[in-house]
Amino acid sequence: MIDFSNTEIAFKMKTNMDLRQSKLLFSTLSSPSVVSALKSMTLASLRLHLPIKGLVKATVFRQFCGGESVVECTPQIARLSEGRVGAILDYSVEGKAQEEDFDRTLATTIETLEYAQNNADVPFGVFKPTGLGSIDIYEKVSLGNPLTQEEQKSWENTLERWRRIIEKANELGVPVMVDAEESWIQPAVDDLAIQYMRTYNQGKAIVYNTAQLYRHDRLAQLTDALELAKNEGFIYAVKIVRGAYMEKERERASRMGYASPIQPDKASTDKDYNAALTLILNHLSHMAVVIGTHNENSVALAASLLSEQGHPLDHAHVHVAQLFGMSDHISFNAAATGLNTAKYLPFGPVRDVLPYLFRRAEENTSVEGQTGRELSLIQKELKRRKG
């Protein structure tokens, strides 16, 4: 149904210069040793206060980020819209752990929600729980351990930030996604997400949790969530992804002597991902989903299941999403077929989004076939344009 090989549609928003720059970048990212060296050089240059911001912004930042601020993202949002693809503004500053940093994330997230209310091309807001509070306190709450008086105050501040974001999302009518975290802090996140769904997901999907299907327990968790939603009369809304912390999860489990929460292999992850997708699409009166994937088979499965069940491809409870700068052949061809489609559009000060950028660069070297696929599609489109 979806022709993922159509590069004319996939790269319609890109100029020849854009494609040549992307080709050079993905060629560079194809070498793990080069990526590692560039990471070390960039970090060293920042420590020495060398003027490298312009170089970073013109290369890897340009490929994977929308800008340094919400306003700077506006041209990219407009370009995506030309291909019927929305934008999910994602404040991708990581590694901050002070109250003022958490407050800045709060303010910026609310800014994205207000922007989305006035721009139909921005269908969701999003926030990362550890952008609003201490990871150590999330862990203690997840374990049911008592908090010190100081920790309790910090946790109350975290809860207040959650409240302000979700109440604002509901007030503006802009759905908001809660990103997933590591397994040892996810219970606190799940509990909060469910609490807010009970309040605000009455007849509509405002709050979306995230399920990482590379965890072997998430399919069962989604099944339980469906039953809860049915019994209590709310919509369980969820973004499903394969996962982002595999090495960290396995290393911690080994070091601390507990069973790893991660699937034994990729085939098991793929199986559970598509089973979760099928479960949700079979229960759209009680569930809503953002299908976060760079896997063509999962997107094709979603389109097929919707058609089989007589649902429109643009069902209000179903969206597909990919990261900006990757898998344009999926995003734009899915959108052209009629699926609600969006790109996660990261933004933030160049220095502060470097951890995100390094992860994207490393991911492109480690995910089997990812860089080669991007390169071959870019080369195919450049050849087509030459005629």
- pLDDT the model gives residue 365: 64
Closest C-alpha among 167, 121, 124, 122 to residue 290: 124
Q: Is-contact 172 120, C-beta < 8 A?
A: no
Considering the domain boundaries, does residue 45 fall inside one? no
- The mean pLDDT of 207-222, rounded to a whole number, is 98
Query: Which residues touch 246 (CB under 8 Å, ≥6 apart)?
Result: 214, 262
Amino acid sitting at position 74: T
Distance CA 59, CA 35 (A): 13
The number of distinct structural domains making up the chain is 1
End-to-end alpha-carbon separation of the chain, Å?
A: 26
Closest C-alpha among 37, 36, 26 to residue 369: 26
Residues above pLDDT 90, as percent of the chain: 81
| Geometric angle at alpha carbon 203, from 332 and 304, rounded to 5° | 35
Does position 370 have pLDDT exceeding 90, yes or no?
A: no
Q: Is-contact 93 355, C-beta < 8 A?
A: no
Exposed / middle / buried, residue 112 (Cβ in 10 Å: 0-12, 13-18, 19+): buried
Considering the domain boundaries, does residue 88 fall inside one? yes
Encode pLDDT of 272-312 as tens digits: 999 999 999 999 999 999 999 999 999 999 999 999 999 99
- pLDDT the model gives residue 363: 67
Please count the residues of the chain: 387
Does position 254 have pLDDT exceeding 60, yes or no?
A: yes
Distance CA 126, CA 116 (A): 11
For 179-208, b/e burial (b = at least 16 CB within 10 A) is bbbbbbbbbbbbebbbebbbebbeeebbbb
More confident residue, 34 or 253: 253
Helix (H) or strand (E) holding 10: helix 7-10
- The mean pLDDT of 98-120, rounded to a whole number, is 97
The CATH number of whichever domain residue 295 belongs to comes to 3.20.20.220
- pLDDT the model gives residue 55: 85
Considering the domain boundaries, does residue 17 fall inside one? no
Encode pLDDT of 63-77 as tens digits: 999 999 999 999 999
Neighbours of 219 (CB within 10 A): 18
Q: Which spans in 236-324 are helix H?
A: 246-256, 266-281, 296-308
β-pair partners for 207: 176
pTM to 2 decimal places: 0.94
- The mean pLDDT of 174-191, rounded to a whole number, is 97
Residues above pLDDT 70, as percent of the chain: 98
More confident residue, 45 or 183: 183
Does position 372 have pLDDT exceeding 90, yes or no?
A: no
User: pLDDT-based confidence at 329, cuts 50/70/90?
Assistant: very high
User: pLDDT-based confidence at 369, cuts 50/70/90?
Assistant: low
Does position 364 have pLDDT exceeding 70, yes or no?
A: no
Query: Which residues touch 144 (CB under 8 Å, ≥6 apart)?
Result: none
Considering the domain boundaries, does residue 18 fall inside one? no
For 78-97, b/e burial (b = at least 16 CB within 10 A) is ebbbebbbbbbbbbbbeeee
- pLDDT the model gives residue 366: 56
- pLDDT the model gives residue 31: 79
| Phi, psi for residue 169 in degrees, rounded to 5 | -60, -45
User: pLDDT-based confidence at 387, cuts 50/70/90?
Assistant: confident
Considering the domain boundaries, does residue 46 fall inside one? no
User: pLDDT-based confidence at 322, cuts 50/70/90?
Assistant: very high
Considering the domain boundaries, does residue 133 fall inside one? yes
- pLDDT the model gives residue 371: 75
Average pLDDT, the chain: 94
- The mean pLDDT of 197-217, rounded to a whole number, is 97
Considering the domain boundaries, does residue 49 fall inside one? no
- pLDDT the model gives residue 96: 77
Q: Is-contact 91 70, C-beta < 8 A?
A: no
State the residue range of the domain holding 192. Answer: 68-352
Does position 368 have pLDDT exceeding 60, yes or no?
A: no
Distance CA 89, CA 78 (A): 13
Helix (H) or strand (E) holding 318: strand 318-323
Using alpha carbons only, how large is the chain's radius of gyration in Å? 20
- pLDDT the model gives residue 49: 79
Considering the domain boundaries, does residue 200 fall inside one? yes
Encode pLDDT of 126-148 as tens digits: 999 999 999 999 999 999 999 99
Encode pLDDT of 38-61 as tens digits: 888 887 887 777 888 888 898 889
3-state helix, strand, coil in the chain (%, to 5): 60, 10, 30
Distance CA 64, CA 17 (A): 16
